[in-house]
Amino acid sequence: MPELPEVETVVRELGPRLRGRRLKAITVSRYPLRKPWLKEWDRLLRGRRVANIRRRGKWIIVDLDHEAHLVIHLGMTGQLTVKSTLDPLGTHTHLVFVLDKGRHELRFRDIRRFGSASVFASRQSLERFFLEVELGPEPFDLAAGYWKAQLARTSRCLKAVLLDQRVVAGVGNIYADESLFQARLHPAQPGRATTPEQAARLRRGIILVLNRAIKRRGSSIRDYIGGSGRQGEYQKEFRVYGRTGEPCPRCGAPITGIRLAGRSTHFCPQCQRLDES
């Protein structure tokens, strides 16, 4: 599933291609996404100009004039790109937004259809939506006191805390593993067993890993492509994720793979020792 770096890459690459352009028409396939497309949304979008495109957690927000907002979640296999109308429409393309005079289109392709698209008529309704999903702060905005308190109050393992979008938004399986390795912390360590120094180290590790991944345009493992249609390259720099049995880049010990918090989890048993005292 695309995580923060992948979604941020899509937003950055679509920005120059979308800002200032007007949505002329919308075509919806007969196969529904995770949420059905409502006919009334066509009226809300048609003729609106794109003011901005931004990210919140793993959500893409297209801000339109007159306070309307198109909100897209890529799900597991979603791809959001601007294409010439002369380019053949790829299979599994479920939403097409015709731009300006009809020479280009914003296309949402999603093979598994776990993605979603919704329209909000006002800033208040958009804010209410994010309150209802209880989306936590952005990793780059994590206050030190808040982060330490969130860890100290839970017996859940660090991997589960990082995956909880209510605690911190945008981090998923790949970057949870990579951040824990960066911080030299075992993914099974209980949150409340984390010292203030370790909490600070993990907070720094999350930001460092995410920034590094954004610079490489995210990770392309299966279906992910950026807003320009190009793949990401951070998968070439994974330290632990998906590297079970391979040598740790720090100490050479074989990377271990286990199941934790319902997800495949990868770590170095030497660099990320679990203190069971």
Q: Looking at domain 4-132, which of 3.40.190.10, 3.40.50.300, 3.20.190.10, 3.10.20.30 is its CATH number? A: 3.20.190.10
pLDDT tens for each residue of 161-183: 999 999 999 999 999 999 999 99
pLDDT score at 222:
81
pLDDT score at 275:
79
Contact 210, 175 (CB under 8 A): yes
Could you tell me the residue ranges of all domains in the chain?
4-132, 139-267
Instruction: Beginning with the edge strand found earlier in the chain, give each strand of the sheet holding 93-99 in spatial order.
Output: 23-28, 93-99, 104-110, 78-84
Q: Which residues pair with 259 in a beta bridge?
A: 264
Q: Which residues pair with 247 in a beta bridge?
A: 254
The residues that are catalytic are 2-3, 58, 263
The end-to-end CA distance of the chain, in Å, is 36
Contact 240, 266 (CB under 8 A): yes
Positions of the chain with pLDDT under 50: none
DSSP state of 235: G
pLDDT score at 250:
96
| CA pair distance 214, 159, nearest whole angstrom | 21
pLDDT score at 200:
98
Contact 28, 37 (CB under 8 A): yes
Identity at 144, one-letter amino acid code:
A
Instruction: Judge: domain 139-267, CATH 1.10.8.50.
Output: yes
pLDDT tens for each residue of 69-117: 999 999 999 999 999 999 999 999 999 999 999 999 999 999 999 999 9
pLDDT score at 277:
56
